[in-house]
């Protein structure tokens, strides 16, 4: 089996959730059936949304470090960080399993034509490009709802997991009028939102990435 290298820490709780999903998605009867995972959980990566420092150099250095440690394939446990995926690819010779593509593939398989996105502005734009390329129509939050999303994101990163955060995220998902499926396009979203109470499928981008990572590392189609 191939060794997976994970660029994480953006944020730490979301990375731990992703690692749990890797374990859950692996068909294993014993310890040795699981894939080997090397993780750089680096919360020092510059804020992907602040714009005061570009995270590309830090992500590239993480990729090189994971390659040097023995990783054979890479994944980034952060949707927004995929805006700098080309810098990661250029930094080393390892293939990168793309979270955005994994989630869009799952959205397409639901049969939905209009797909809502819960994510940062950068992630929303990445998903918009990929969804349109796949023949799907992206549905974005209104500017006011996008600002509310960022407030909730900061609260979740600060440890908020209560009913206020859960209800707020659910309301934002429901505000995506006309969406026939919703992508949780930020790795913090599934910490407070699941499919219960939503009238349409919820695509968890982190879970989609985990399933693909397990398949690739186990050499499964």
Active site residues: 78, 186
The CA-to-CA distance between both ends of the chain, in Å, stands at: 13
Neighbours of 34 (CB within 10 A): 16
Nearest of 68, 87, 95 to residue 2 by alpha carbon: 95
Residue pair 149/172 in contact by the 8 Å Cβ criterion? yes
Q: What is the CA radius of gyration of the chain?
A: 17
The pair of three-digit structure tokens given for residue 167, joined into one six-digit string:
């209800």
CB-based contacts of 17, cutoff 8 Å, min separation 6: 187, 190, 191, 206
Q: E strands of 9-64, at which residues?
A: 37-41
Render 153-170 in DSSP notation, one character per residue: HHHHHTT--SHHHHHHHH
Neighbours of 64 (CB within 10 A): 15
């Amino acid at each position: 089996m191939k060794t997976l290298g994970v660029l994480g820490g953006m944020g730490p709780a979301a990375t731990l959730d992703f690692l749990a999903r890797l374990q859950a998605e692996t068909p294993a009867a014993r310890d040795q059936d699981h894939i080997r995972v090397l993780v750089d959980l680096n919360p020092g990566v510059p804020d992907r949304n602040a714009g005061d420092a570009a995270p590309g150099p830090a992500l590239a250095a993480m990729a090189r470090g994971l390659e040097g440690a023995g990783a054979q394939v890479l994944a980034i446990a952060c949707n927004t960080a995929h805006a700098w995926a080309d810098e990661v690819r250029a930094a080393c010779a390892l293939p990168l399993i793309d979270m955005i593509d994994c989630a869009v593939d799952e959205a397409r398989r639901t049969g939905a034509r209009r797909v809502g996105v819960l994510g940062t502005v950068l992630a929303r734009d990445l998903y918009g490009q990929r969804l349109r390329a796949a023949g799907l129509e992206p549905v974005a939050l209104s500017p006011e709802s996008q600002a509310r999303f960022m407030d909730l994101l900061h609260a979740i990163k600060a440890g908020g997991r209560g009913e206020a955060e859960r209800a707020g995220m659910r309301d934002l998902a429901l505000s995506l009028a006309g969406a026939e499926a919703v992508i949780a396009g930020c790795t913090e979203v599934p910490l407070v939102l699941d499919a219960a109470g939503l009238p349409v499928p919820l695509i968890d981008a982190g879970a989609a990435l985990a399933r693909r990572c397990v398949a690739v590392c186990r050499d499964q189609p």
